[in-house]
Chain A
Amino acid sequence: MKGVLLVIDHKFIGKEYEPTEYEIGREKMREYARAVGDENPLIMDNEAGSASEYGDCIAPPVFASVYNLMGAAQLFFDPGVKLNMAMLVHGEQEFEFHKPVRPGDVITTTGKIADIAEKGNNDLLVYEARSVNQGGELVTVGRATFVIRGGN
Chain B
Amino acid sequence: MAVSFENVNIGDEIPPLSVNLEQMMLWIYAGASGDFNPIHVDKEFGEKVGLGGTIAHGLSNMARMGRCVTDWVEDPGALKRFKVRFSAPARPGDTVTFKGKVTEKKEEDGKKALVLDVWAENQDGAQILSKGTAVIEL
Contacts and interface: CB of A to CB of B under 8 A. Distances in A.
Nearest to B33: A66
A152 to B, nearest CB: 18
Contact of A96 (B31, B33, B74, B81): B81
Nearest to A101: B77
Contacts of B33: 32, 35, 65-66
Interface in A13-30: 28
A77 interface: no
Contact of A97 (B34, B62, B79, B131): B79
A61 B71 contact: no
Nearest to B34: A66
Interface stretch (A1-9, A87-95, A113-121, A129-137): A87-95
Interface residues of B, number: 31
15 contacts: A32-B63, A35-B29, A35-B31, A37-B64, A38-B70, A42-B76, A42-B77, A61-B70, A61-B76, A65-B33, A90-B58, A93-B62, A93-B84, A95-B83, A100-B76
A57 to B, nearest CB: 10
Contacts of A98: 80
Interface string A74-95: 0000000000000001111111
A39 to B, nearest CB: 9
Contacts of A34: 28, 32
Nearest to B87: A91
Nearest to A66: B33
A132 B122 CA distance: 36
Given A96-B80, A97-B81, 12 more contacts: A32-B63, A34-B28, A35-B28, A37-B19, A38-B71, A61-B82, A62-B82, A90-B86, A93-B59, A96-B81, A97-B82, A100-B77
Contacts of A62: 59, 62-63, 66, 82
B25 interface: yes
Contact of A93 (B19, B34, B86): B86
B84 A92 contact: yes
What are the 10 closest A-B residue pairs judged by CB atoms, nearest first?
Answer: A62-B63, A35-B32, A94-B83, A65-B59, A36-B63, A100-B77, A38-B67, A32-B32, A35-B29, A62-B66
Nearest to A143: B83
A13 to B, nearest CB: 21
Contacts of B79: 61, 97
A25 to B, nearest CB: 12
B82 A94 contact: yes
Contacts of B75: 40, 42
B29 A36 contact: yes
A97 B59 contact: no
A60 B67 contact: yes
